[in-house]
Chain A
Amino acid sequence: MLFEDGIIERMWGSSRIVHGTNRLKRGFAKMVKHGAIFDVTNPEQAAIAEDAGAVAVMVLDKLPADIRAAGGVARMASVEAIEAVMDHISIPVMAKCRIGHTQEAILLQEIGIDMIDESEVLTPANEAAHVWKWDFTVPFVNGCRDLGEALRRIEEGAAMIRTKGEAGTGNVAEAIRHMRMVNLGIRQLVSNKDDPQELMRLSREMRVSYELALETAQLGRLPVVNFAAGGIATPADAAMMMRMGVDGVFVGSGIYKSQDPEVRAEAIVYAVANWDDPEKVLEAQAMISEKKSMTGIDINALTEEQKIQYRGAQL
């Protein structure tokens, strides 16, 4: 089911122009496939990302690792900071709004950013609902921990999905777990694509519509672009996620919490593009030094309350 409430129509001379269609939103995400998107907090970091070959940047007030350390409420970045990054670089600029904070999303759309990440990295604002993304002209990306969560976000209008992983840890284990769960869910749907009763049972288990479960079963993949995110810190991490079938990667704290952000950014872009060529991934991995990687956090050392991947997951 597609709602297209975010559409804007206008005339240019004799041509009828339409903005904000589902095709344009999902199409935007298709253009960043096989690419890397980096979290940045200022124009200087954004310029490093652009020079390294990133396909887009994500503007935050603080990097996830710093949000984790600082505690308190994490909100959308300052308007000034977002606009400064937009003015400074020419690649797409994304920014995060809090889960369910429709007003922050409206503000980000007004600023004119290219995509909104409704993100668990910020403090959730609505415990009962995510943003109803169909109302927007700008496309959204949402996080997921398994296939059901991904499909529920798509039903709300997300044009792109990413794994949640465990942001700000420099530990890729949770992103791997979440991608494994997505792949497992897809295999389950695919193997039952000719069995409507079983497909309906699975769709109820995943709390999504039968139609979307069927569509996913027939496609054999998510109906939108799917990136990895949360804990990616090295070229090997990025290539590992590509190997699991993601369309690209988000790197949060991994770049600017390392001591070699310029070469690391370039190395990760190169590893994503060449993930299926061991020689080239080795070339990328050799560009960085493990001594300069962010130290990272063992996931087992975190209490359940300290994990941010659970935010919004029950919805």
Chain B
Amino acid sequence: MVKVGILALQGALEEHENALKKAAEKINKEIEIVFVKRKEQIENIDAIVLPGGESTSMRSIGRKLGIFDPLKEKIKSGMPVLGTCAGTILLSSKVKRKKEGPATDGVIGLLKATVIRNGYGRQKESFETDLKINKLNVNIKGVFIRAPIIEKIEDDIEILAKVDNDPVLVEQRNILAATFHPELSGSTAIHEYFLNKI
């Protein structure tokens, strides 16, 4: 039995819970899902999902709860993490508000990448498209909602999927980060791959 956390400060928590449950059943892995809101919960989990939502909101609540420092240490020590959309922004080392604007340090900052928040624009630019992920041997629906764009990444990060020329799913050892929402795709392939990393 492994304990899989979902960072529960704000956002689409239940969608990840459902996707994790289905994925665990498919690969026949026993998991317990924990909604993580307290720093004390972090030492007892074996993996964590950083969900989609508003990264600024998560940042302000999370800082007040003092949750990011212990979380960062745990991820540094190798705990598998799946970041989606806002979660990827929290994980990235550099964050820009606009393409031309300055970059500030990311909240957790362990993914060696520069991301632009709402890189495609507002909700009217939100989109769906088919994504081919060769490493997982699947085609899934990519659901991008006010999604960030990964502008720059270090060479040692593996790119698992792209849209046009932008990486949208990347892997840096224990960190798996998507700019889209696999939890809304109807496929559990990415959650299965994540659970297999534990």
Chain A interface (Cβ < 8 Å from any Cβ of B): 12-13, 15-21, 23-24, 27-28, 30-35, 50-56, 86, 90-93, 109, 112-115, 137-139, 266, 269-270, 273-274, 277
Contacts and interface: CB of A to CB of B under 8 A. Distances in A.
Nearest to A247: B14
B139 to A, nearest CB: 12
A115 B54 contact: no
B15 A18 contact: no
Contacts of A113: 122-123
A115 B134 CA distance: 35
Nearest to A90: B97
Given A33-B10, A35-B53, A35-B54, A18 B129 contact: yes
Interface of B: 8-15, 37, 52-54, 56-57, 59-61, 64, 85-86, 97, 117-118, 121-130, 143, 145-146, 163-165, 181, 184
Contacts of B184: 23, 27, 30
B164 A56 contact: no
Contact of A112 (B59, B60, B85, B124): B124
Contacts, number: 129
A158 B146 CA distance: 19
Given A15-B163, A23-B143, A53-B61, A28 B126 contact: yes
Contacts of A27: 12, 126, 143, 145, 181, 184
B56 A53 contact: yes
Q: Residue among B56, B123, B184 with the most chain A CB within 10 A?
A: B123
Contact of B123 (A28, A34, A277): A28
B145 A18 contact: no
B133 to A, nearest CB: 14
Contact of B145 (A28, A91, A266, A277): A28
